[in-house]
Amino acid sequence: MSFRITNNNIQFTKVFLLFCLPFVALAASSSQAQGSGISDIEDSVIKIYTTQAAPDYFTPWRLLTPRQSSGSGSVIFGNQILTNAHVVANASYVQAQKHNDPRRYLAKVTFISHEADLALITVEEPGFFNDLKALPIGELPNLQQEVAVYGFPMGGKSLSITRGILSRVEQQVYAHAGAYLLAGQIDAAINPGNSGGPVIVDNQLVGVVMQANSGGRAENLGYFIPPSMIRHVLDDSQDGISDGFPDLGFRTQTLDSPAAKAAYGLSEDQNGVLVIKVFDNSPAQGVLQVNDVILQIDEFDIAEDGSIKLSKEVLTDYKHAINLHHVGEVVSITYSRNGALGTTELLAQKALDSYSLVTGEQFDQIPEYYIYGGILFVPLNMNLIKRWGNDWSRTAPVSLLQARNEWSSPDRRQLVVALQVMAADVNLGYHDWRNWLVDSVNGEIVKDFSHFAALLKENQQDNIIFENTNGYQLVINHDAAVSSEADILSRYRIPAAYSADLFQE
């Protein structure tokens, strides 16, 4: 079969080429724009180096050995770099490095939210941000949508880009500080060093990579902080003071049981959560009562399992409806009391450090302690419990772990631990006592650690009797404790008998 070139063929070819050229040019232009967008994102991802020296809660006058670590961050508006709080927590030295730039620039932390595991840092070096574009903050992606994760994982110096599918959105316990907040899950492993890096869809930041809290049971999964939590923290940062996520002062349990629903006056088509605790001096005190059923918060109906619907595909815990508010805002509540409907508005207040007798984990703070009669007393908090290692839930003393299940109150806000005894004549008979909870001092119930320290310092009695809830007693002669203090501190090389800020107003 032969093909003969004619004038008509040549003319058709010219017309065809003229017709196709605009589309070729458009495709080339689109490819260049996409490449430019990816390049801008890469330039906006920052590697962060930190030297961290956390306090040693077993010997609270000392620091643990400083360690070097790295993480990732991304440039956002206002010459700010958004990263994880755990990347810069307890940091004494922070540096930032741009993509394809070997130089490290001195950086400083300007705002931190340990609850949300987010922090803002900046670099004051002139011109640092000149060639960097701020990433716009987008919306939460749809389930099953592909996302890209940018960061600098351990094991190399170059920027890494991984992709995954958004597989789940729900409340999760954040690994850094234990807060229970909304999180996204993607089916891609995220390695150390990626922490703080941006999650990107359509050239917009839709999440910040964070630590997993799966306890080692889940593989090839990554977690990120979603846009609603990011915006909450950015709004909170405007005045430079961290108010955190608010609390209304009540606790609940689910009402999955039909018998329980009927017992509290709900009809078959009503659902909600049962109020089991209302804290003193909280927004809910005097308004809500134990055994009320919370049916709705703002426009969110609460299901029998305590969930609310964020979209057709996304359900999460009702506490997210409260987390969307800032301190000082009004939250609308619809509830049932013995079958009768009621509505009210509660003014959201700043959450307490802890609603149990075990204070939540703290960062960037000097631990409190008091040495009396050679005995080291400390407040019970999660920093101390976690000092027993990664498997602290099994290795920490049972009595300390059980205290997490006890509610705090204005009369008893915190527990005190006799952590260890530094052997001396003044404490003969108690040298092997460890991790002992103190309930009262000379018969007076201990409210918190400040109250405990004041009882010791202002004591006028001959002896101090420390007693626990089971009636066991530890007795120290007051004069002997005072006279032996200098010798004990010198012998055990302890700089002071108590932490520097303990008695400051």
Catalytic residues: 86, 117, 195
Tokens encoding 42:
């890469």
E strands within 279-328?
A: 293-297, 300-301, 307-309, 315-317
Rounded to whole angstroms, how far apart are CA atoms 87 and 117?
9
* DSSP single-letter state for residue 361: P
Coarse DSSP helix, strand, coil percentages of the chain, rounded to the nearest 5 percent: 20, 35, 45
For the chain, the distance separating the N- and C-terminal CA atoms, rounded to the nearest angstrom, is: 102
**CB-CB contact of 360 with 380 (8 Å):** no
* DSSP single-letter state for residue 28: H
E strands within 23-154?
A: 45-52, 67-76, 80-83, 91-97, 105-113, 118-123, 146-151
Rounded to whole angstroms, how far apart are CA atoms 200 and 217?
27
Place of tokens 């007795």: 475
Tokens encoding 322:
């409260």
Tokens encoding 405:
């299940």
**CB-CB contact of 237 with 111 (8 Å):** yes
Task: Give the type of residue at 446.
Answer: V
Considering only CA atoms, which of 37, 60, 127, 87 is closest in space to residue 210?
Answer: 87
Considering only CA atoms, which of 471, 461, 468, 494 is closest in space to residue 375?
Answer: 494
Rounded to whole angstroms, how far apart are CA atoms 118 and 139?
18
* DSSP single-letter state for residue 351: P
Considering only CA atoms, which of 183, 188, 245, 247 is closest in space to residue 213?
Answer: 183
**CB-CB contact of 61 with 496 (8 Å):** yes
**CB-CB contact of 331 with 248 (8 Å):** yes
The contacts of residue 232 (CB under 8 Å, 6+ apart) are 116, 245, 323, 324, 326
Tokens encoding 4:
């003969």
In this structure, the chain runs to a length of 505
